Amino acid sequence: MDYRFSDAIANTPKSFIREILKLTQSDNIISFAGGLPNSALFPVDAIRHAAEHVLSRDGRNTLQYSTTEGHAPLRAWIAERYARHGMNVAPEQVLITNGSQQALDLLGKVFLNPGDAVALENPSYLGAIQAFRLFRPQFHSATLSTDGIDVAELQAVMRQHQCRFFYGIPNFQNPTGLSYSATTRQQLATMLQQEQQLMIEDDPYGALRFSGSSLPPVAALAPEQVVMLGSFSKVCAPGMRLGWMVAPAPVLAQLAVAKQAADLHSGYFSQRVLYQYLQDNNLDEHISQISHAYQQQQQAMVAALQQHLPPGIAHTTPEGGMFLWLTLPKHWSATDLFHIAVRHGVAFVPGEPFFADASQRHHLRMSYCTVDVATIHTGVQRLAAAMAEYAAQ
C-alpha cells in the first residue's frame, strides 16, 4: 500500500530526543538526557484519595462528557493564582488543555497559515518547534543570552518577517535554564505593545524557583499582547495531561473552537481528580518539596561539573527549573560527544535540534532531577572522561 501522507507530516521529522533516548535505555547508563520530572515526588496517595473521593461522591458526572473550556472550578482556581503575580485573570480567560503541548498545537491551528513567520528564541523548546512545524511556518530566531531574549533583535526580526507571534519561555528555559531579567521583561512588553505583536509565553517551570526572587510574567506587563501557557506536569504529575492557556477573550474564543474540533474537551475525570487534589492539599507546599529536591540535585551537578570538567566548557546555573546547558569549544560536536559518552555510560541531549536552523552543534542539555546526588557525581566523572577522549581524537 502506498500511503499518501500529507506534506505537513511528511516534512516533520521524528522527535530527535525520542530517537536518541532509545540508545540510553540501559541499566548501565546514567542518563541526564530525560526531560521527565522525578516520579519519586509524585503525590500518588493524595491523587488516589482524590480519585476515590470524586468517584464515590459523584461518579456518574465525573465519567460524563463535559465542557470544552474545562471544569469551571479548576479554571477559577487557576485564574485566582495569577493574583500573586499582580494579574487580574477572569476564569473565562482560562482554557484547560491536555498539557501545554496541546496548547502549542491549538495556537498553530488558530494563528498559522503555511509559510507564515514565527519568531523563536535561539535555541528554543524542541517540542514547540515540532508542534509548529506541522503548520509549515518559516522560523526566525533572536539571540537568547543570560538576560533573556535580545529585544532589539527580536523587534527587527518580527518587523522584517511580519511574524504571527513570538514564542518564548522566560523562566528556566528548556533547554538552557536561562531566564529573562526584569529589564528584559519590561522592554519586551513595551516592544509588543508598540508593535502590536503577540507573544506566546510558555511557563511550565516558573514555579520551580529555588533561589532568587520571582519576576513578573510578560503577560502581567502586556496582557493584551500575550497568551500564557501553564502546566500541572512539573508541579504535580505529567500523566494527568493537564495544562492551561490564559488568553485575551477574542483569542480564547478561537482557541475554544480549535479545542472542540481537536478533542471536545480534556479528560473530565483527570480534571475532577486534580481539582479535588488541589482542594485537599497545599500545592505550594508540594512545589517547595520539589524545588528543594531539585536544588540539591542541581548543586551536586554544578559542584561535580566544576570539579571534573576540562577548562573551556561553560555551563548555566539557573535559579530553578530542571536543566543546565553546557557550551563546549566551538569546533566540538555534541552529537559526536554523545556517542562517546554512551560508551562511557552517561547520556545527555545534544543541543543541535533545539536550534530551528540547526546552526549550533556545540551545546548540550543536562537534566538533574531524576538522578540522585551520588549518581550525579559518578555521571559527571564519566562525562569528563568522555570529553577527554573526544579532545584527544
Could you tell me which of 40, 33, 19, 16 has the C-alpha nearest to residue 345?
Answer: 33
Residue 186, C-alpha cell as written in the block? 519590561
Question: Which residues, numbered 222-251, are part of the site for ligand PMP (CB under 6 A)?
Answer: 231, 233, 238, 243
Burial of 18 (0-12, 13-18, 19+ CB in 10 A): exposed
Q: How far is the CB of 37 from ligand PMP (least distance, A)?
A: 9
Binding to ligand PMP in span 105-164, by CB under 6 A: 125, 127
**Listed ranges 40-48, 94-102, 113-121, 282-290: which one lies at the site for ligand PMP (CB under 6 A):** 94-102
Binding flag, residue 169, ligand PMP (CB under 6 A): yes
State yes or no: residue 174 binds ligand PMP (CB under 6 A).
Answer: yes
Rounded to the nearest 5 percent, the helix, strand and coil shares of the chain are 50, 15, 35
Shortest Å, Cβ 336 to ligand PMP: 25
Q: How far is the CB of 302 from ligand PMP (least distance, A)?
A: 21
Number of residues that bind ligand PMP (CB under 6 A): 14
Q: How far is the CB of 352 from ligand PMP (least distance, A)?
A: 17
DSSP structure class, residue 230: E
35 lies in the binding site for ligand PMP (CB under 6 A):
yes
Return d(Cα 198, Cα 69) in angstroms, integer.
Answer: 22
Check residue 68 for interaction with ligand PMP (CB under 6 A).
no
**Binding ligand PMP by CB under 6 A: which of 24, 31, 62, 100?**
100
Residue among 101, 122, 270, 298 that touches ligand PMP (CB under 6 A): 101
DSSP secondary structure, 192-221, as one string? HHHHT--EEEE-SSTT-B-SS-----HHHH
Alpha-carbon distance of 351 to 364, in angstroms, equals 4
Q: Does 323 bind ligand PMP (CB under 6 A)?
A: no
